[in-house]
Chain A
């Protein structure tokens, strides 16, 4: 590996790396994101390598193959993209590999069977960039994710990596950098949306030589995985952003606080740090600028509240992760009492892009008050589950139908829950709102950190609200009473409603209690915990009332309010349900109609999913 002491040496190294790349050599990128790994992408990659060694004698079949980070379109994994043409193959299996090499690599023939088929037009689409899922996106942060081998710093460098750092260290003062960040209009992507440049300025203005920067990679929202994918797929981008920020604020030490549950991201980040140290892009006198900076990794141990900045700091200090009141803000009194700046993974990753392309360019993307792109993990009842990066301000409809491909199984869209346990839901009547900080807030949701869950007509909104309440209630650190006791009371009420024991007045009680918890809790967890409940009440109050007054669950989800029975006309007496019922609640003889004993039945749904004759009814 090279050793880089000056800006000049960085340029020379980049040129020499670029010179080594043979543009005519086909490049096969295999997605190595978590989703595709579960589908078996590692074996696919190995098969491509084996194929290469087996056929080396034939010069025509030479190619380069690498494992990259998540390509975003996880729904169709394992994904394989063949460059330079950009041919995208979906659901690739080991058994497809020989054919891909023999046909596509050797003869430039496309294998139609492996192409993505647009469900709307039934057309096969050859190239990645033409697939609707990608076509409407604006992939700035995720741009290189599908292209780079994240375990090699050389790849990032040859794609222009650390050029922004060079620009900063050779031509911009710390104040210039902060000015650029302010002008870019970037707002923190970790949830609160605070303008990043102003936060940096506050930290820079603090007296003292010892300051810290922290990357918040705790990613607590249980439905979001983009921070993880960025760390896995392009860790150097985040590091470069942190180095630039540290220079601007005068910090010499950085930390990445990352979840223990993300082993691959931790591994790639460790590698990235050690490689950057080896070449001299971390350490002393970076690019001969006189600026020193190092980064350490701290593993989070699975507590949602540790994503809150003061709790995160306590956790790095080795304490239990309880938030403390602010002010003082971390910018004044942070890690070990020193001025500290915390940003989310996506915020840090945006920095090199802003420096590279300029704040004006960045600010031209987005809306009046919200600039740049935002990443959502679009999950739930949607056709194209995956990671989506879009300019702020596109409509929810575009996101869900054009990019997300709509709702599967012919069901209808009910709501999109945005912002996870701190967020709220947007019902169908507001599908055309632009997705930006203010619009979402006016409807009772939040931008949050990018979790977007789509609920279809079969989702019970009361049950859904109870789900988030259960999550926050379990994760409440218990330090302050409104959050600890209040979330519990709300959860108990919701569970009672779902069990069929709801009472008149429950909904008003939930609203009143929710408002009180929001007002009086110490940290953001408590202050936002009631949101999922309040917003479902706002748009789906009739569903709450149906549970409470009519004792029915319109979506047929809540166990206390549904019964299973056998439809006599459809039942063939095949006995499959009887054999599968874990409770022994079904009786019947062969070729005779079966009966479910409601007193024993636990409403597990097993019979329904095993019956081949649609003979199980739930009502």
Chain B
């Protein structure tokens, strides 16, 4: 992907007046691109006068940042305690097998990213699976199988 420098500058400048701004700035960049392009890290460190090593340390320390682009569909499986006792590890296993990737990885065709998250605040409906911000509750292996098949079909990969 071509990264527009001016756009990143704009995002960073909007956050730059604040103290400790590298984290907020990177958060905004992450929000915008759904990952942190390498260029953005360099630009942010230059723009904010923070050593690149610190920018990199921040980007790798916090779970919210990803240095790799995400797939078209980001599937998040809640691994919070409530979802765990109601069977979310099975769902994760199942998805890992289906897409042949581990949690945190993206399929080589850049379609699917698998992620785990901790408690989304909807424990009563656990286990929860979120696909690009859309929540599905009370998931079972069957329902999640259907969900994956639907996405795969939509992409014409069946």
Q: Do A and B bind each other?
A: yes
Q: Which residues of A contact B (CB under 8 A)?
A: 33-35, 37-39, 74-75, 77, 221-225, 228-229, 260-262, 296, 298-299, 301-303, 315-321, 336, 377, 379-381, 385-386, 417, 420, 451, 453, 455, 459, 464, 467, 471, 477, 580, 582-583, 602, 604-606, 609-610
Q: B137 and A39: CB pair below 8 A?
A: yes
* Contact, CB under 8 Å: A317 / B90: no
A315 to chain B, nearest CB (A): 7
Chain A residues lying within 8 Å of B80, measured Cβ to Cβ, are: 222-223
B5 at the interface (CB under 8 A from A): no
CB-CB under 8 A from B142, the residues of chain A are 580, 606, 609-610
- Taking a contact as CB atoms closer than 8 A, the residue among A38, A224, A582 that contacts B128 in the complex is A38
A301 to B62, CA, bound (A): 5
Contact B137 A455 (CB under 8 A): no
13 contacts between A and B (CB under 8 A): A34-B122, A39-B137, A222-B79, A303-B62, A316-B20, A317-B19, A320-B57, A377-B123, A379-B85, A381-B85, A385-B124, A459-B85, A580-B142
Residues of A close to B65: CB separation below 8 A: 301
B97 touches A35 (CB 8 A): no
Interface residues of B in 75-111 (CB under 8 A from A): 79-82, 84-86, 90, 93-94, 97-98
Given contacts A301-B64, A605-B90, contact A38 B122 (CB under 8 A): yes
Contact of B120 among A34, A298, A315, A455 (CB under 8 A): A34
When A and B form their complex, what is the total count of cross-chain residue pairs whose Cβ atoms lie within 8 Å? 142
Shortest CB–CB separation between residue A273 and chain B, in angstroms?
Answer: 15
Closest partner residue, chain A, to B116 (CB atom) = A474
Contacting chain A: which of B6-14, B22-30, B150-158? B22-30
Query: Chain A nearest CB: distance from B33 CB in Å?
Result: 15
Interface presence of B3 (CB below 8 A): no
A451–B122 touching, CB < 8 Å: no
B58 touches A74 (CB 8 A): no
Q: Do A467 and B84 have beta carbons less than 8 Å apart?
A: yes
Report whether A39 and B79 are in contact in the complex, using a CB–CB cutoff of 8 Å: no
Chain A residues near B125 (CB-CB < 8 A): 35, 38-39, 74
Q: Judge whether B94 and A582 touch: CB under 8 Å.
A: yes
- Residue of B82, B124, B137 with most partner-chain A CB within 10 A: B124
**Alpha-carbon distance between A464 and B142 when the two chains are bound, in angstroms:** 24
Is A318 in contact with B123, judged by CB distance below 8 angstroms? no
- Residues in B with CB closer than 8 Å to A39 are 125, 137
Q: For the complex, what is the distance from the CA of A35 to the CA of B57, rounded to whole Å?
A: 35
Beyond A380-B85, A602-B97: 15 further Cβ-contacts under 8 Å? A34-B121, A35-B121, A222-B79, A222-B80, A222-B81, A223-B82, A260-B27, A298-B20, A299-B23, A302-B64, A377-B123, A381-B86, A582-B98, A605-B90, A606-B142
Among B21, B63, B97, B128, the residue within 8 A (CB) of A302 is B63
Pick from B85, B94, B97, B120: contact of A464, CB under 8 Å: B85
* Closest-CB distance, B105 to chain A (whole angstroms): 16
Which residues of A sit under 8 angstroms from B140, Cβ to Cβ? 609
In the assembled complex, the CB of B88 is this many whole angstroms from the nearest CB of chain A, namely 10
Q: For the complex of A and B, list the 9 residue pairs with the smallest distance between their C-beta atoms, beginning with the closest.
A: A318-B20, A223-B81, A301-B62, A379-B82, A302-B63, A74-B124, A222-B118, A301-B64, A385-B124
B61 partner residues in chain A, CB cutoff 8 A: 303, 320-321, 477
Cβ of B37 under 8 Å from chain A: no
**How long is the Cα–Cα vector from A526 to B93 in the complex, in angstroms?**
29
Residues from chain A with Cβ under 8 Å of B85 in the complex: 379-381, 453, 455, 459, 464
**Residues in A whose Cβ lies below 8 Å from that of B94:** 582, 604, 606
B21 and A318 form a contact (CB under 8 A): yes
- The contact size tier of chain B is 35 or more
In the complex, what residue of chain A is closest to B136 when comparing beta carbons?
A: A38
Taking a contact as CB atoms under 8 Å apart, the answer to whether B93 and A604 are in contact is: yes
Q: Contact at A420–B124, with CB atoms within 8 Å?
A: no
A37 to B137, CA, bound (A): 11
Question: Once the chains are docked, how many angstroms separate the CA of A455 from the CA of B61?
Answer: 33
Cβ distance A379 to chain B, nearest Cβ, rounded Å = 4
Q: Are A385 and B128 in contact (CB under 8 A)?
A: no
Please name all residues of chain B whose beta carbon is closer than 8 Å to the beta carbon of A609 when the two chains form the complex. Answer: 140-142
Nearest chain B CB to A313 CB, angstrom units: 10
Beta-carbon nearest neighbor of A609 in chain B: B141
Within 17-53 of B, Cβ neighbours of A (below 8 Å) are at: 18-24, 27, 50
Q: Select from chain A the residue with minimum beta-carbon distance to B82.
A: A379
Which residues from 114 to 154 on chain B have a C-beta closer than 8 Å to any C-beta of chain A? Answer: 117-126, 128, 135, 137, 140-142, 145
Residue of A225, A316, A336, A580 touching B119 (CB-CB under 8 A)? A225
What residue in chain A is nearest B120 (Cβ atoms)? A34
Task: Give the residue name and chain of the B residue nearest to A582 (CB).
Answer: B97
Q: Which residue of A lies closest to B30 (CB)?
A: A301
Knowing A38-B137, A39-B125, A225-B123, say if A385 contacts B82 (CB, 8 Å): yes
Distance, CA A321 to CA B57, complexed state (A): 10
Contact B81 A605 (CB under 8 A): no
Cβ-closest chain A residue relative to B27: A299
User: In the bound complex, what is the Cα–Cα distance between A288 and B131 (angstroms)?
Assistant: 50
Q: In angstroms, how far is the closest chain A Cβ from the Cβ of B76?
A: 10
Residues of A within 8 Å of B121, CB to CB, are 33-35, 225, 228-229, 262
Cβ-defined contact, B122 with A35, below 8 A: yes
Instruction: Tell whether A223 pairs with B119 under 8 Å between CB atoms, given A303-B63, A609-B141.
Output: yes
Residues of B within 8 A of A77 (CB): 124
Cα A301 to Cα B33 in complex, Å, equals 16
A528–B24 Cα distance when bound, in Å, is: 30
A315 touches B23 (CB 8 A): yes
Q: B87 — nearest CB in chain A belongs to which residue?
A: A605
Please measure, in the bound complex, the distance between the C-alpha atom of A377 and the C-alpha atom of B126, giving whole angstroms. Answer: 14
Given A225-B123, A301-B65, A420-B81, CB of A318 within 8 Å of CB of B58: yes
Residue of A nearest to B130 (CB): A38
Residues on B with beta carbons closer than 8 Å to the beta carbon of A224? 119
* A225 proximity list for chain B (CB < 8 A): 119, 121, 123
- Given A223-B81, A380-B86: A604 touches B141 (CB 8 Å cut-off): yes
A301:B93 contact, CB within 8 angstroms? no
Contact partner of B90 among A301, A321, A467, A604, CB < 8 A? Answer: A604
Verify A35–B124 contact, CB threshold 8 A: yes
A74 adjacent to B24 (CB under 8 Å): no
Determine the distance from Cα of A303 to Cα of B65 in the docked complex, in whole angstroms. 11
What is the bound-complex CA distance between A415 and B136, given in angstroms? 28
* Residues of chain A with a CB closer than 8 A to B119's CB: 221-225
> Given A222-B81, A301-B64, A467-B84, is A379 in contact with B126 using a C-beta cutoff of 8 Å?
yes
- Which residue of chain B has its CB nearest to the CB of A225? B121
Residues of chain A contacted by B63 (CB below 8 angstroms): 301-303
Contacts of A420 in B (CB 8 A): 81
Of the listed residues A386, A583, A604, the one surrounded by the most CB atoms of chain B closer than 10 A to its CB is A604
CA distance A296 to B145 in the complex (A): 43
A610 to B142, alpha carbons, bound, how many Å?
A: 7
